[in-house]
Structure 1
Amino acid sequence: MSKIKLGILGGGEDSLIGILHRVAASMFDRYEIVGGVFDIEHARSLSFGEKLQLDSKRIYRDLDHLIKEEAQLPENERMQVISVLTPNFLHFPMAKQLLENGYNVICEKPLTTTYEEAKILQKTQEKSGSIFGVTYTYTGYPMVRQMKTMISNGEIGEIQKVDVQYYQGWINPLIHDKEKRSNTWRLDPEKSGISCCIGDIGTHAFNMAEYVTGMRISSILADLNYLYEDNPMDIDGTVLLRFSEKVKGVIRASQIATGEENNFTVKIYGNKGALKWEQENPNYLYLLKEDQPLQVLKPGHSYNSDFSLEGTKLPPGHPEGIFDSMGNIYLGIANAIEKNTKFEGAFPPLAEGLRGMSFIEKTVASHKKGNVWIKMNDK
């Protein structure tokens, strides 16, 4: 079977996210990285492409050059899908141009810097018919997919409470230094959009809450923290959630949780039981039921769903992690490109990125209006 030809925008020498995507694309032997634009400076991009042992002729100066030169190649040699791994403000123009030229797209989150841009992107994708995946990475974990399946099957009953926490501490050393916080791109609205914490990690929590429960959040109330008056971007926040009048929840997100690394925890409580999952210990899914011992489910066992097992690459007892999670998303996109989609929720589509942008804007609006409830219904 011939491999899907993949191009990459961004994700160069010093990019953590670039490594994650390249490793993910190599899993399952479904993609071949053939070129791209890895850095804004062409010399650095060329140097990095050489380290990846790519043909220097396909390390392009910019996106315009890439589109022009790829069109000159025989159709069976051209890039079929391109990953956009650039800072947030470049997601929209790059993804839009790629869709308009017939490419399938894989895009980092947040999808764009505004909800209006995201709506334009959705219309562009609908017109193009291209596959578009947004890398809400954590939905690729086998035990997250097991959680989704168990909730869908009614194993914890009717959902009553949703509690999602995403705590990091990486901004803490920067935020208290005026010069450092002024020179960090994630705290620059021109490059990052209107939100830092909610836009970066709160959107993961929002997506996860809707992904595993299969429900849509109907309204939110937010309280954000900026810490310093000259800092225009939130770095901490709490968001109350209403799925319905009887189903409530909370998202707690922070980048100033001192000492925390990547503490993403998901807890779903039903009237017959509960499920808990922690990103830092991703191979354990905890099932709680009244008057029964705590159960611990792990990946790779036959008791798991087909959806969970499809994304499990190692025998039981062998840890799998975030590279595997992203790899499972790339697998889902590969299946879609080859019209071989197997499972509902195999990758986050553009529509989930659109919902994420709506959540970011409504969260900021709720805070600025005095911490009021705002409906999540899309415009």
Structure 2
Amino acid sequence: MALNPPLNRKLRMGIVGGGIGSFIGRVHTIAAALDHRCELVAGAFSSNPEKSKQSAPDYGVDESRAYGSYEAMLDAESRLPADQRIDFVSVTTPNHTHFEIAKAAVEAGFNVVCDKPMTLDLDQAEQLLKTVENSDVVFALTHNYTGYPLIRQAREMIMAGELGKINAIRTQYIQGWLAEKLEATEHKQAAWRTDPAKSGVAGAFGDIATHAFNLGRYVTGELPDKVSCHLKAFVDGRRLDDYGTAVIRYKSGALGTVTASQISHGRENDLEIEVDGTLGSLRWRQENPNEMIVRKNGQPHQIYTRDPNADFTKPLAASSSRIPAGHPEGFFCAFANIYLAAFDDMAKRAEGQPFERRDTVYPNVYDGVEGMMFIEQCVKSSEQDAAWLTLSHSAART
């Protein structure tokens, strides 16, 4: 089959960020190119023009398309012939820059794949939502954990009623890398993630609890109603939270918890979700992503493995796998699945065909607004001694 039907060519990628020493920029470019459906042709790799030029050879990008700013890239690429200019922009910079870059790219008519959280605050998220709705672009948000095959298996099982009515959703994301005050050293990642001007109003909750919250929403489809939250910075002098727990009331009557820590010694990237229903429960951990446990009272525990050819595997989970069972798939592959689904819609848009904008397989601008509301309401709740605050938003997925 030809690439990106009905477009039948590779999509052309432009990236903002990803300069020398970048982690997430590299992740985006590797994931986007994993299935050979796009090629990186341009980048504003750094706001320093010289550093941007120096970064271009690392990606095989011609120096003439290595720009010193995202504004320069958008302007120059917009003036290129249609068969040469970029099709989409990937935003891989620190949080405080996401809004201005994504908004400018949408206004210039380019599709966008944005790293999370979508913006610095809820007001920016709502502005960006209006900008996207007033355009015809594809907008994807890289809550990449939704791309794991067994997460998509869990989603389809729950949507099919196999767990019954959902009673409880427990998610946690536990890390330990900030147990010491790394921001007081020259640690670049720690410095901006603990700086309110660059990270926003929350620390661990803005960085990783958003993933846990989004995962619960994606897997169950439950609509949040209210939240009560406690946040705390345990490291002396830290300006943003490094630990917290939120309790969520869902509109269906289900209850949920979200716990995030970046100060738990020895913990790496332990994202976990458990869902309890009236007919059964399930559990999945990101550090062992190719297995999911399903339990029912009076029956042996079932271990679901990632097997695209098995009869028990749901279609969405099967289509999210690239290799046979027993060969581990992981982080890059899950990240790539976000890009793949977005590519399908980008190809449709390029050919003038309609595409779904709200209830997409990949996280989108509506999820971004929900995520920012979750962060802000958790912070406000914690400031009010865990007061119950609303999480309902008109932008929520149904």
The offset of 1:232, in angstroms, is 2.0
Structure-1 residue corresponding to 2:315: 306
- 1:53 and 2:66 matched: no
1:267–1:274 contact (8 Å) kept in structure 2: yes
Match of 2:134 among 112, 115, 127: 127
**How many corresponding residue pairs?**
378
Distance 1:263 1:60 in 2: 37
Could you say which residue in structure 1 is the equivalent of 2:385? 370
Whether 2:324 is the aligned partner of 1:324: answer no
Structure 2 unmatched runs, 5+ = 1-7
For the 8 Å contact 2:166–2:277, the answer to whether it is kept is yes
The answer to whether the Cα contact below 8 Å between 1:335 and 1:342 also exists between their aligned partners in 2 is no
2:345 aligned to 336, 339, 362, which one? 336
1:194-273 equivalences in 2 (<5 Å): 194-228=201-235, 230-244=237-251, 246-273=253-280
Q: How far apart are residue 228 of structure 1 and its match? A: 5.0
- In 1, Cα distance between the equivalents of 2:78 and 2:161? 50
147-156 vs 291-300, which moves further: 291-300
Say which of 112, 120, 130 aligns to 2:119.
Answer: 112
Indicate yes or no: 2:355 matched with 1:347: no
| Runs of 4+ residues over 6 Å off in structure 1 | 180-183, 340-343
Paired residue type of 2:135: S
**Residue of structure 2 equivalent to 1:358:** 373
How much does 1:178 deviate? 5.3
**Helix, strand or coil: the match of 2:151?**
helix
Aligned-residue offset at 1:34: 0.4
Aligned to 2:45: 38
Question: 2:152 is matched with which residue: 132, 145, 149?
Answer: 145
| 3-state DSSP of counterpart to 1:47 | helix
Secondary structure of the structure 2 residue equivalent to 1:75: coil
- TM-aligned CA distance change 1:367 to 1:133, over 3 Å: same
CA distance in 1, matches of 2:74, 2:283: 45
For the aligned residue pairs, the C-alpha RMSD in angstroms reads 1.9
Identity level (%)? 36
Q: Do the aligned partners of residues 131 and 252 (structure 1) sit closer, same or farther apart at CA in structure 2, a change above 3 Å counting? A: same
Following the alignment from structure 2 to structure 1, what is the Cα–Cα distance between the partners of residues 184 and 191?
Answer: 10
- TM-score normalised by the chain length of structure 2: 0.91
SS at match of 2:289: strand
Could you tell me which amino acid in structure 1 is paired with residue 325 of structure 2?
Answer: P
CA contact (8 A) 1:174 1:180 kept: no
Distance 1:329 1:245 in 2: 28
Q: Any conservation in 2 of the 1:135–1:348 contact (CA below 8 Å)? A: yes
Judging changes above 3 Å, is the alpha-carbon distance between structure 1 residues 10 and 178 closer, same or farther for their aligned structure 2 residues? closer
